[in-house]
Amino acid sequence: MTFSFAAKAAVLLLFVGSTLYVHLRGKARLPVLRQFVNHSALFAPYNALMYLFSAVPSKPYLDRSKFPELDVLKDNWQVIREEAMHLFDEGYIRAAEKNNDAGFGSFFKKGWKRFYLKWYDKPLPSAEALCPKTVELVSSIPNVKGAMFALLPGGSHLNPHRDPFAGSLRYHLGLSTPNSDDCRIFVDGQIYAWRDGEDVMFDETYVHWVKNETEQTRVILFCDVERPLSNRLMTSINRSVSAFLGRATAPQNVDEERVGGINQAYAWSKKFSDSFSSVVKQWKRKHPKAYRIMRPVLAVVVAWALGYWLFG
C-alpha cells in the first residue's frame, strides 16, 4: 500500500507544524535548522500531545510543592549526600566508558558524569549494592521513573539544549554544590542556582543550559518524574511509551549490567561516525574548495529526495 500525496503532505505538515510549535514555545530557542535536525524533532508530535493534556502549567519552572511525594527525598538529602559522596570518592560517578549512553553522550565532553540509580523499570544492581538507602528512597516514589547522581566539575558548562521527551519533568536536589550564584542552570533564560539540601522542578523540554563558574564540583540528585496528565487514557499511553523507551535506553554503571538497544546502536554509530568524521576532516584539509562546493550539493540532494517522496 502506497501513501497518496495528501497522506504524505499531512505527515510532513504534522512534523513541521509540531516541530515549529516546540521551537516557538518559550523565549529561548535553538537555531531553526538545529531544531529541525535535532533528535527532539522526532518526538515533536508526541510532545505536542503531552503539552495539550498536561495537568501542570506550561512554564519553565514548576511549583515543587505540587509534588509532595518528593518531600521524602528533600527530607533525607543528607542520607542521600553521604552515599553520593562515597561513590564520588571511589570514582563510581563517571562518564560512559563505552560511549553507550545516547541520552547524555554530548555532556561527557564537558566533564559531566553520572551514576544511575534507577531507570524506568527497576533499580540498577550496582546501585542497589553501592547506595541501598538512596535506591530505597527513590523506589518508594512510583512516579520517579529515572534517577541518578550527576556531577559537573568547576569551570565547566553545558550548552543550550532541550530534552526530547515531554512525558516527564525534571527534578534536581542539591547534594554537594558550590552554594553560589555562579553555579546555575538557565531554563528558558530563567536562572536557578543550586544549594545544598534545596530542590527544584522544571520542564526540561524548554531550552536550558548550565554554567559552573566556580572551582568546586557540583553533585546533585537528578530525577525524571512522570508528567501529570489530565486524561486517564493519555496517562496510560504515556506510561506505555515511557516504559518502552526506558527499556530501549537502559544504561549501565558497570559492564555486567544490561544495555538497551538504542544505547547499543548509539555506541556502534559513534564508532562509525568517528571514523567517518576523521576521513571527512582529512579530505576537507586536502580539498577545501571541493568541500565548500559539496555542502550545497548535498543540501540539493536532500531536497530532491524529499520532493521525490512527496511527488514522485
Q: What is the pLDDT of residues 119-161, one digit of tens each?
A: 987 899 999 999 999 999 999 999 999 999 999 999 999 999 9
Q: Is the model's pLDDT at 273 over the cut of 80?
A: no
SS3 content of the chain, % helix, strand, coil (to 5): 50, 20, 30
Residue 170's DSSP bridge partners are: 202, 224
User: How many whole angstroms separate alpha carbon 302 and alpha carbon 2?
Assistant: 21
Query: By C-alpha distance, which of 112, 96, 102 is closest to 257?
Result: 96
Cell numbers that stand for 7 in this block: 497522506
CB 210 within 8 A of CB 153: no
pTM of the full predicted structure? 0.86
pLDDT at 12: 81
Q: Is the pLDDT of residue 308 over 70?
A: no
Report pLDDT for 233. Answer: 97
Asked whether residue 299 carries a pLDDT value surpassing 70, the answer given is: no
Q: What is the identity of the amino acid at 115?
A: F
Q: What is the side-by-side order of every strand in the sheet holding 122-123? A: 61-62, 199-202, 168-176, 218-226, 144-152, 113-119, 122-123
Q: CA–CA separation, 78 vs 134, rounded Å?
A: 10
pLDDT score for 41: 82
Sign of the alpha-carbon dihedral angle for 9, 14, 19, 21: positive
276 pLDDT exceeds 80? no
pLDDT of residue 303: 63
What integer pLDDT is reported at residue 2 of this predicted model?
56
CA 104/CA 108 separation, integer angstroms: 7
Using only C-alpha atoms, the chain has a radius of gyration, in whole angstroms, of 21
**pLDDT at 37 > cutoff 90:** no
Determine the 3-state secondary structure of 261 from DSSP. helix
Closest by CA position to 147, among listed 183, 189, 190, 115: 115
Please list, in sequence order, all residues whose beta carbon lies within 8 angstroms of the beta carbon of residue 94, skipping any fewer than 6 positions away: 113, 114, 115
Buried b (16+ CB within 10 A) or exposed e, 36-70: bebebbebbbbbbbbbebbebeeebbbebeebeeb
- pLDDT of residue 270 exceeding 60: yes
The size of the chain, in residues, is 312
pLDDT band of residue 307 (cuts 50, 70, 90) is low
